[in-house]
Chain A
Amino acid sequence: AQKVTQAQTEISVVEKEDVTLDCVYETRDTTYYLFWYKQPPSGELVFLIRRNSFDEQNEISGRYSWNFQKSTSSFNFTITASQVVDSAVYFCALSEANNAGNMLTFGGGTRLMVKP
């Protein structure tokens, strides 16, 4: 069965610091998809990124970057020069291709607090 672990339940940083959110996953499938979502205080989940298991190329989008390593089953998320608006709960999620519905298995989330 699939599983996603976000060992960091809460992280607090000061604005402009870099911060990395860890995500480790378990799956028996060779084809799967990994996601990160942001849940700000308003509560609505915001899609950030989708990565498929065949694409290990790291991705950068502005201050966000993602490091996917199949060898360690990790899909870590780094925010560079954090800002107060980055304060939110961040969820890593997994879906397996052989699961027709592609329903998501979520980690427990990491609450990021960025202080001014």
Chain B
Amino acid sequence: GAGVSQSPSNKVTEKGKDVELRCDPISGHTALYWYRQRLGQGLEFLIYFQGNSAPDKSGLPSDRFSAERTGESVSTLTIQRTQQEDSAVYLCASSLVPGQGKDEQYFGPGTRLTVT
């Protein structure tokens, strides 16, 4: 079946502009995660959605970052007034209900964001 998809695959933006990144999770996966991967580093957790519960935003680095999710489907990650340190690959993952023993996260291909 279809995996996690993300768009765009690459985004180049000027410092100070807003960007919107999109994630389509695997159908039937109720949990959705956003991570950030800076060049040559591991992944940092940003935000988590589970069903209709309030999202866990504990990983968002600043109030310039926000995310929304429509039900149990598409999510958008918005970065306002982008800064050069926001340059990274933004990865989305989805999983079945966490804690139910089938909570492997499946990752999308990522969006490579470059802020000039």
Q: In whole angstroms, what is the CA distance A37 to B105 when docked?
A: 10
Interchain CB contact (< 8 A) of B59 among A95, A97, A103: A103
- Which residues on the B side are within 8 Å of A33 (C-beta)? 103
- Closest-CB distance, A18 to chain B (whole angstroms): 25
Q: Kindly state the separation between the CA atoms of A115 and B50 in the bound complex, as whole angstroms.
A: 43
A: number of interface residues (CB 8 Å): 24
Mask for A35-47, Cβ within 8 A of B = 1, else 0?
Answer: 1010000111101
Say whether, besides A91-B43, A97-B99, A109-B42, A103 and B110 are in contact (CB < 8 Å). no
Q: How far is the CA of A114 from the CA of B31 in the complex (A)?
A: 35
Instruction: Give A14 to B110 CA distance when docked, in angstroms.
Output: 30
Would you call A100 and B107 a contact (CB within 8 A)? Answer: no
With A44-B109, A44-B110 as contacts: A102 and B43 at CB distance below 8 Å? no
Residues of A within 8 A of B67 (CB): none
* Bound CA–CA A100/B58 (angstroms): 13
Query: For residue B41, which residue of chain A has the nearest CB?
Result: A108
Which DSSP category, helix, strand, loop or mixed, fits chain A's interface?
A: loop
Interface check B23, CB cutoff 8 A: no
Q: Which of A91, A97, A101 is the one whose CB lies under 8 Å from B48?
A: A101
Contact A47 B109 (CB under 8 A): no
The answer, among B45, B98, B107, for a CB contact under 8 Å with A45, is B107
The interface residues of chain A lying within 8 Å CB-to-CB of B108 are 44
Task: Known contacts A35-B104, A43-B110, A45-B91; decide if A101 and B56 are in contact (CB<8 Å).
Answer: yes
Cβ-defined contact, A104 with B43, below 8 A: yes
B89: interface (CB < 8 Å): yes
B75 at interface by CB-CB < 8 Å: no
Shortest A51–chain B CB gap in Å is 11
Complex alpha-carbon distance, A93 and B93, angstroms: 14
| B45 A103 Cβ-Cβ under 8 A | yes
B65, CB-defined interface residue at 8 Å: no
Known contacts A91-B42, A91-B43: A104-B105 contact under CB 8 Å = yes
A-B contact pairs, 7 of them (CB 8 A): A44-B107, A44-B110, A50-B103, A101-B98, A102-B95, A104-B43, A104-B45
Contact residues of A with B, CB < 8 Å? 4, 33, 35, 37, 42-45, 47, 50, 91, 93, 95, 97, 100-109
